[in-house]
Amino acid sequence: MSLRHPLSALVRFVSRNLPAITLVLFAPAIPELLTGSTPISHLFFDPPQFALSFLLDVGLYGTGALLIREFAVVYRKGWASILLLGAAYGIAEEGFAVHTFFQPSGSPVGALALYGHAFGVNWLWALGLSAFHATYSIALPILLVFLWFPEARQARWFGRRGVATIAAIYLAEVVIFAHLVGHGPSPGALLFFLAVVALLLGLAWRAPSDLLSVPAGPGRAGRLGLFLAGTLGFDAWVVVLVLSAVGRVPAVATAMILVAVNLVALAYVLRRVGSDRLERSEFYFATGMLAALFVWDVPVEFSVPGILGVAAVFAYLQYRLGRRIAARSSRPSERIPPGVHGDPPPLAS
């Protein structure tokens, strides 16, 4: 029996669904492989374990990113809703699924199991991880897919049945993890975080599509400024890790630093980025976000061999993306319509 027909069918399927497949892979790869949380070394020393771990990552991160992206498209929402839903996703993963919000000791929480801990909750860890997942697990993968596939920026990828299937996979994995992982939340903590998630979902639903959109016209941000602003979110998290290890700064003050640095990055974008050449601005900001992880990977290489190889793959992809954006901008007839640039993705008003 010839394999040509099944192979050609697979090629057509991948080609037709490449934006969605890319998001499904980027969503877990950036926060897991590029940070060392899922060690790439297992791919060589224990392939079955790596395959299982990454498949579970795809089932959690990938489905979450798909649902949030589809919500933004269907209901014509912008970056404010994406970030709010990303924070809700972070609570669902770390609080309801793997329970790191309540972990009393050990990896990955480390000193944050005590520093900023009260009433059975690692509050500083919860704040930092919610921000990290909102930006690196959800917003950044969606932004990169928008830049790679601008033609798919406004397209709906799934029907109701597809969305229901994806949601079922996501919820099933959260429930399975919740039953397998110990140190779960107290009833009071569970109710509190359920209320926070409900609040975030409500805010995402009501947030105007142009909230956090950049003003029309030219911007004032240079490449270096955008690049450095992109690094700030992860830089703030590194500061949290350092201060938690030292333990001499009150945890409340550290939390204020974390929030303040992220707000500085957001304010810089909103004040200095314009709708003109928005793709270029988004590219440099995203490159800064990734570069912060590349620097992180240098010392991590000693404990997770091969992680610099993952960084090299992402650096090459970012280089190719930059070339692709430059090629698009040099062909005026193929540029994205100006209306798309004027509003936050995924849809123009």
Task: List pLDDT tens digits, range 205-219.
Answer: 999 999 999 999 999
pLDDT of residue 15: 82
pLDDT band (50, 70, 90) for residue 3: low
pLDDT of residue 210: 93
Q: Which of 228-237, 270-279, 327-336 has the lowest mean pLDDT?
A: 327-336
How far apart, in whole angstroms, are the C-alpha atoms of residue 80 and residue 70?
Answer: 15
Domain ranges for the chain, please list them: 20-211+307-342
Taking alpha carbons only, the member of 101, 107, 60 closest to residue 189 is: 101
Q: How many CB atoms lie within 10 A of CB 74?
A: 14
Report the pLDDT averaged over residues 275-289: 96
Please give the share of the chain, as a percent, with pLDDT higher than 90: 87
Please give the share of the chain, as a percent, with pLDDT higher than 70: 93
pLDDT of residue 216: 93
How far apart, in whole angstroms, are the C-alpha atoms of residue 259 and residue 273?
Answer: 21
pLDDT of residue 338: 41
pLDDT band (50, 70, 90) for residue 341: very low
Residue 122 sits at φ, ψ, to 5 deg, of -85, 85
What pairing do the DSSP bridges indicate for beta strands 121-122 and 117-118?
A: antiparallel
Sorted by sequence, the CB contacts under 8 Å of residue 279 that are 6+ apart come out as 147, 150, 325, 328, 329, 336, 341
Sorted by sequence, the CB contacts under 8 Å of residue 124 that are 6+ apart come out as 112, 115, 116, 240, 244, 251, 254, 255, 258
Give the end-to-end CA distance of the chain in Å, rounded to a whole number: 52
pLDDT of residue 2: 53
How far apart, in whole angstroms, are the C-alpha atoms of residue 274 and residue 80?
Answer: 17
pLDDT of 98 over the 70 cut: yes
65 vs 9, higher pLDDT: 65
Report the pLDDT averaged over residues 282-301: 98
pLDDT of 344 over the 80 cut: no
pLDDT of residue 334: 44
Task: List pLDDT tens digits, range 299-320.
Answer: 999 999 999 999 999 999 999 9
**Count of residues for the chain?**
349
Q: What is the DSSP string of 198-217?
A: HHHHHHHHHS-TTTTPPPSS
Reduced to 3 states (helix: H, G, I; strand: E, B; else coil), residue 278 is helix
pLDDT of 333 over the 60 cut: no
Report the pLDDT averaged over residues 153-170: 95
Task: List pLDDT tens digits, range 47-67.
Answer: 999 999 999 999 999 999 999
Report the pLDDT averaged over residues 225-235: 98
Question: pTM, whole model, 2 decimals?
Answer: 0.92
Taking alpha carbons only, the member of 14, 110, 23 closest to residue 72 is: 23
